[in-house]
């Protein structure tokens, strides 16, 4: 599995951190995210230096945050397991897998978005998931464990029963969202469908592709997309950074809601996305696209599914099992 490219040695780093600890709080912090406006809060946090600001207010000065963009959650979690980054901002599935595999030594800090993700296709014969044939290819960020891959498994369970939960797994191909969008634009490419994410899904629809399924149709409500998580060893050794992360996320979301256009300007500045600013503003006007929120949504549904298929060996009793104690005040599910 891609999640464990680093192998047992990398896992040992995580499991062993608790005994070695840190002499003092880190001031040079590395955080990863994926492409797209699901991670808009992180772009605001970066351009406005909100983590640095809140850390200083909380007594830890001269903090430097290095933001890194990875194409998929698998690469992000590999980096966390290897000790190459401190915090990752990615989907619920990756958080649950690391929480389970490290026996609770990786936990969530706070969430920042719960927008819908949409599967689109250029193939006129694929109007719904029931039209997917054995040879049809669907791009997802990480095969098997990304939000999109898990949603396909959940849909398969609804369509074919629990005995065929992985019905669509052979159809999935691992591509980052920008590469998947390029694949859809290339009519000779084998990938004709993309379980996408904002803004890519709306740009793909505007380019003539059509909607196959919406995540809300599968899970029946909002679903956390962007989650900040880290090792418990890092959190215990760096309580001011954890507090600053939470405060910065709250402030970033408040800024997005008060002035989405400025927030999108920050996204364009950081990401280099050439999409017209007014087009991005229009995208945020789509249904449920302003669901930037700090409370985990739909995560226990994911946990139930992953436990059912054997990916999670331990079934959490509540969402608070895989979030830090500092996060218990969030109204999650």
Percentage of the chain modeled with pLDDT above 70: 93
- Compute the average pLDDT of residues 257-270: 97
Say yes or no: 131 and 69 in one domain.
no
Give the three-class secondary structure for 211.
strand
Considering the domain boundaries, does residue 1 fall inside one?
no
- Compute the average pLDDT of residues 277-281: 97
Output the average pLDDT for the chain.
Answer: 92
pLDDT, residue 23, reads 47
Instruction: Give the end of a domain, one of 162, 191, 219.
Output: 219
Give the number of C-alpha atoms closer than 13 A to the C-alpha of residue 273, restricted to the C-beta side: 25
Give the three-class secondary structure for 173.
strand
Spell out a b/e string for 17-36, using b for 16 or more CB atoms within 10 Å of the CB, else e. Answer: beeeeeeebbbebbbbbbbb
pLDDT, residue 177, reads 92
Cα separation, 48 vs 88, in Å, equals: 19
- Compute the average pLDDT of residues 93-118: 96
- Least trusted range by pLDDT, from 15-24, 46-55, 63-72, 323-332: 15-24
Closest CA to 129 of 168, 179, 97, 99: 168
pLDDT, residue 73, reads 81
pLDDT, residue 144, reads 86
Q: Name the band, by pLDDT with cuts 50, 70 and 90, for residue 11.
A: low
Please answer whether residues 31 and 68 qualify as being in contact, where contact means their C-beta atoms are separated by less than 8 angstroms: yes
Instruction: Give the end of a domain, one of 219, 242, 257.
Output: 219
pLDDT, residue 19, reads 40
Give the three-class secondary structure for 226.
strand
Considering the domain boundaries, does residue 75 fall inside one?
yes
How do residues 207-220 score in pLDDT, each as one tens digit?
999 999 999 999 99
Spell out a b/e string for 256-275, using b for 16 or more CB atoms within 10 Å of the CB, else e. Answer: beeebeebbbbbbebbebeb
Q: Name the band, by pLDDT with cuts 50, 70 and 90, for residue 5.
A: very low
Question: What six digits make up the tokens of 129?
Answer: 């998931």
What is the domain-level CATH number for residue 160?
A: 3.40.190
- Compute the average pLDDT of residues 290-302: 95
Q: Name the band, by pLDDT with cuts 50, 70 and 90, for residue 263.
A: very high
Say yes or no: 74 and 126 in one domain.
no
pLDDT, residue 246, reads 98
Say yes or no: 123 and 255 in one domain.
no
pLDDT, residue 145, reads 81
Give the number of domains in the chain: 2
DSSP 22-69: -SS--SEEEEEE-SSGGGHHHHHHHHTTHHHHHHHHTT--S-EEEEEE
Considering the domain boundaries, does residue 83 fall inside one?
yes
Please answer whether residues 183 and 175 qualify as being in contact, where contact means their C-beta atoms are separated by less than 8 angstroms: yes
Domain with 201, as residue range(s), is: 118-219
């Amino acid at each position: 599995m891609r999640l464990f490219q680093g192998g047992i040695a990398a896992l040992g780093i995580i499991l062993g951190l608790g005994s070695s600890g840190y002499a003092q709080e880190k001031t040079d912090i590395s955080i990863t995210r994926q492409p797209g406006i699901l991670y808009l809060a992180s772009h605001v946090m970066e351009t406005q230096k909100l983590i640095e600001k809140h850390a200083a207010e909380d007594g830890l000065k001269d903090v430097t945050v290095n933001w890194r963009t990875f194409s998929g959650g698998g690469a992000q979690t590999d980096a966390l397991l290897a000790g190459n980054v401190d915090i990752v901002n990615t989907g619920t599935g990756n958080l649950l897998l690391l929480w389970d595999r490290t026996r609770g030594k990786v936990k969530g800090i706070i969430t920042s978005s719960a927008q819908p993700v949409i599967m689109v296709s250029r193939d006129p014969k694929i109007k719904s998931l029931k039209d997917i044939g054995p040879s049809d290819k669907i791009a997802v960020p990480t095969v098997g464990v990304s939000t999109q891959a898990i949603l396909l498994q959940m849909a398969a369970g609804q369509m074919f029963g629990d005995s065929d939960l992985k019905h669509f797994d052979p159809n999935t191909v691992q591509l980052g969202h920008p590469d998947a969008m390029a694949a859809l634009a290339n009519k000779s490419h084998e990938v004709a469908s993309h379980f996408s994410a904002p803004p890519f899904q709306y740009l793909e629809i505007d380019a003539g592709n059509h909607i196959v399924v919406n995540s809300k149709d599968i899970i029946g409500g909002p679903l956390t997309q962007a989650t900040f998580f880290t090792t418990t060893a890092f959190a215990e050794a760096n309580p001011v950074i954890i507090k600053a992360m939470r405060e910065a996320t709250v402030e970033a979301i408040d800024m997005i809601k008060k002035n989405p256009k400025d927030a999108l300007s920050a996204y364009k500045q950081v990401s280099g996305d050439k999409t017209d600013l007014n087009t991005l503003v229009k995208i945020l006007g789509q249904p449920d696209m302003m669901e930037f929120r700090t409370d985990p949504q739909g995560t226990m549904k994911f946990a139930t599914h992953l436990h059912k298929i054997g990916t999670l060996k331990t079934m959490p009793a509540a969402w608070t099992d895989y979030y830090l104690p500092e996060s218990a005040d969030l109204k999650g599910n």
